[in-house]
Amino acid sequence: MNFKERDREHLWHPLTQHKLHPEHLPIVSAKGVWLYDEEGKKYIDGIASWYTCMYGHSHPQIISRVKQQLDILDQVVFSGFTHPPAIELSEKLMAVLPSTMAKIFFSDNGSTSVDVAIKMSLQYYFNQGQKKKRIIAFENAFHGDTFGAMSVSGLSVYNGPFEDFLLTVDRLEVPDENNLSAVLDNFKAVLDTGEVAAFIYEPLVQGAAAMHMYRPDHLEMLLQMAQEADVLTIADEVMTGFGKTGMNFASEYMISQPDMMCLSKSLTAGVAPMALTCCSQKVYDAFYDDEIGKGFFHGHTYSANPLACTAAIAGLDLLGSEEIQSNIKRIHNRHLEFAQRIKDHDKVKQTRVTGVIFALDLDITMDRYGKLRDQLYSFFMEKGVFLRPLGNTIYTLPPYVITDGELDLIYQVMEQSLEII
């Protein structure tokens, strides 16, 4: 049997109705921005493999350091033990994280980092004898697939069968120029109940909501209100973190900084699964007590895996380099040029850019995972570009190492796709 036949025997893929999509393309190697299939055809990874491989695939600086670490320490329990890569990573992170961050809690992925933040926020008040059980989240948010993360997410395409089992969450419209006054009023009304533990948000860009973008000054208003009401703020930077919005973190665009941050995806440069929930000293102090029950009893077997920590350290070194920072600015400017060129096309409803994220909305109604979307996906792959349309939104979030020529190929294929709609 070939790879495709062997895959069908036992594997169940994410976000897939296997009766409609029985075959999956075997990718056998990757280097830089390129993915290679079993027949040797190559594809530009236009979304950095779900926003993880931001320094390209198999970056030599990252791989060499992980290989060295593999000979020293591969894995050790992080309860009762610590190790140099975790310590070094914490020190490097504190140098770039917002000044409100003081402590780092390890887990496995973006969803678990959100679950940890939700549990921390609820126990924060419980430990102080306060009953605050409500959480505020944006409409159309996506924070992950575990039950806590699903609860604060707002996309029924993912959560539909489970909605009767989720935490109770107050939904808030994402603010814009048209609804700002109403959003602020609604937010205040919920805050005034005195029952809200946390406000969780994806700062500036809602990824799964088709790269919906909103203004920093609007979010700043909400953050100020939450903090004045003694409500913890949780920035889910799983997608936006580590340079994608032009800053190291999207939270840097605001004056008010979060009480907690959720980080994953490009944290380890796509080399290994790992996530962090970072918090302020104020949050940590609510758990620091002579009473053992006030501790945070949550743990993951692979917390702070030394190999993942080493990959993250190498990734941070690259992120801070002059080359990568220059590339981020270059990609942003190229996106702006392309947006300007294509925005008046009769098939384009809207374009938008934040950092290295470019998105365009087609002037057509489409199902998120419908037939036309699948036709677009197939067209891109035939042209050698891996993009995953979100309904009628076509977007790219390429690795920082992409060249101008490779970007031109993405833009060219996007433009060509408008002619098949």
- The pLDDT tens digits for 263-306 are 999 999 999 999 999 999 999 999 999 999 999 999 999 999 99
Q: Is 147 found in the same domain as 112?
A: yes
Q: Is 225 found in the same domain as 186?
A: yes
> Taking a C-beta distance cutoff of 8 angstroms, is the pair 309, 49 a contact?
no
Q: Is 332 found in the same domain as 305?
A: no
* Mean pLDDT score across all residues of the chain: 95
**Residue 355: pLDDT over 80:** yes
Please name the amino acid found at residue 250. A
pLDDT-derived band at 157 (thresholds 50, 70, 90) equals low
CATH number of the domain bearing residue 189: 3.40.640.10
**Count of the separate structural domains present in the chain:** 2
What's the pLDDT score for residue 210?
A: 94
pLDDT (average), residues 162-185: 93
Q: Is 97 found in the same domain as 49?
A: no
Q: Is 192 found in the same domain as 138?
A: yes
Phi, psi (rounded to 5 degrees) for 298: -140, 135
Q: Is 257 found in the same domain as 159?
A: yes
Asked which of 319, 350, 382 is the last residue of a domain, the reply is 319
Q: Is 145 found in the same domain as 9?
A: no
Cα–Cα distance for residue pair 83/101, rounded to 1 Å: 21
Asked which of 319, 336, 356 is the last residue of a domain, the reply is 319
Asked which of 319, 339, 361 is the last residue of a domain, the reply is 319
> Taking a C-beta distance cutoff of 8 angstroms, is the pair 44, 258 a contact?
no
What's the pLDDT score for residue 166?
A: 83
Percent of the chain with pLDDT over 90: 90
Cross-strand partners of 201: 235
Q: Is 308 found in the same domain as 233?
A: yes
CATH number of the domain bearing residue 32: 3.90.1150.10
pLDDT-derived band at 232 (thresholds 50, 70, 90) equals very high
**Residue 158: pLDDT over 70:** no
Q: Is 29 found in the same domain as 104?
A: no
Residue 90 belongs to domain spanning: 63-319
Token representation of residue 263: 């980080």
What's the pLDDT score for residue 417?
A: 96
**Residue 318: pLDDT over 70:** yes
Q: Is 138 found in the same domain as 108?
A: yes
pTM of full prediction above 0.85: yes
Q: Is 312 found in the same domain as 365?
A: no
Cα–Cα distance for residue pair 383/208, rounded to 1 Å: 24
Q: Is 183 found in the same domain as 200?
A: yes
